[in-house]
Amino acid sequence: MVPFLDLQAVNHQYHQELKDACARVIDSGWYIMGNELTHFEAKFSAYCGTKHAIGVANGLDALILVLRAWKVLGKLKAGDEVIVQANTYIASVLAITENDLVPVLVEPDVDTYNLDPELVRAAITPNTKAILPVHLYGQLSPMPELMAIAKEHDLLVLEDCAQAHGAEIEGKRAGNWGDAAGFSFYPGKNLGALGDAGAVTTNNDELAQTLKALRNYGSHKKYENLYQGVNSRLDEIQAAMMRVKLPYLEKETARRQEIAQRYRAGINNPLVILPQVVSESAHVWHLFVVRAEAREKFQLWLTEQGIQTLIHYPIPPHKQQAYPQFRDYQLPLTEQIHKQVLSLPMDPTMSNEAVAKVIDAVNGFKA
């Protein structure tokens, strides 16, 4: 069996260092908002090239709290429109609606699954106040074009970097393009904690200070509350785990890119549409997503060949029961994508033999 992602194997690579870091936290007697977090935030902002990284409890909170902070700072108000691609994971949309903002779902570029600058431009109304580009599957959105549109129309840009740690265009990494970015360190993400964790990156001092208060009950100073905040802190244990794993991220990304290269060179089945790559460094391959018209049959075939696959994602946000108000939206491209996508195994610990086995199985599929 070729597993989709063997998390046990991923973390086993560092098991002694992880155990030592865990013991260090246990013995420190300090479990929330301490040295581990401060160190991790400094290392992660340096990795992204940003002035600040603010640890929070998970990726969804990172996105929610940036939008919340912009409301607190008077940059957004309830009812403002936020443009986002319709084929994203539901978290990006939840972050918008949680803040009483209005998601404007636009069709993606079908080749990259990311925002299409022309369709963004066409979706702008007088109520549009922000763009939320999701670097889906690990490929950076067309940020130079999107930032130019944002500047022209005075829009805020919040990057959803949950799948794109380290992706770069023109030497500038995900999380360092927009006004702010949300990262997830869910265990299966490219940089994964051993539980839930997330972070915001930004170069804006005022936003960073506001977020540091919002994540901690709205408090800058113990028992003094500036805002009606939340409890969304990144634990010392998780910060310690990621301090261990962050130095290896570059190596793991390189391996993901190598696996993707092998898939792209080896898969030549006309029934299977391969992902398109803007540039090698722009894609960190959180997922290797292909499309097939006969997706269910294709997935069944791969299962029979001992290849585990997943679907990211089976139901688009506008068709979810959670959002009856979007049910009648006409988004044919997004719906087609959700019917056709299939994610092949992508795991930095995969052997070249396993990669070859996947390629053979994909090429052996017949209509």
Ligand X SMILES: *Cc1c(COP(=O)(O)O)cnc(C)c1O
The residues binding ligand X (CB under 6 A) are 58-60, 88-89, 91-92, 134, 160, 162-163, 184, 186, 196, 198
Tell the smallest beta-carbon distance from residue 130 to ligand X (Å).
16
Residue 342's closest CA among 237, 267, 281? 267
- Rounded to whole angstroms, how far apart are CA atoms 210 and 222? 15
The least distance separating ligand X from the CB of residue 141, rounded to whole angstroms, comes to 12
Q: Compare residues 198 and 316 and give the one whose CB is closer to ligand X.
A: 198
How many residues are given for the chain? 367
* Burial degree of 119 (CB within 10 A; 0-12, 13-18, 19+): middle
> Which residues partner with 289 through β-bridges?
343
Q: Which is nearer to ligand X, 92 or 257 (CB)?
A: 92
| Interstrand relation of 81-85 and 128-132 (parallel, antiparallel or unpaired) | parallel
Reduced to 3 states, what is the DSSP secondary structure of residue 115?
Answer: strand
Of residues 197, 233, 230, 225, the one with CA closest to residue 214: 230
CA distance 83 to 166: 24
C-beta nearest to ligand X: residue = 59
3-state SS assignment for residue 202: strand
Cβ at position 48, least distance to ligand X in Å: 16
For residue 175, what are its two tokens? 């999380």
Cα–Cα distance measured from residue 305 to residue 237, given in angstroms and rounded to the nearest whole number: 39
- Residue 56 host element (H or E): strand 52-56
Shortest reach from residue 196's CB to ligand X, in Å: 6
Distances (CA, A) of 214 to 21, 35, 91: 28, 20, 19
CB of 351 to ligand X, least distance (A): 26
Q: How many CA atoms lie within 13 A of 46 on its CB side?
A: 9
Q: Nearer Cβ to ligand X, position 67 or 355? A: 67
| Complex with ligand X: residue 198 or 345, whichever CB lies closer | 198
CB of 85 to ligand X, least distance (A): 10
**81 HSE (CA, 13 A, CB side):** 13
State the helix-helix crossing angle for 352-363 and 295-304, rounded to 10 degrees: 130
CB of 72 to ligand X, least distance (A): 21
- Rounded to the nearest whole angstrom, what is the least distance from the CB of residue 136 to ligand X in the complex? 7
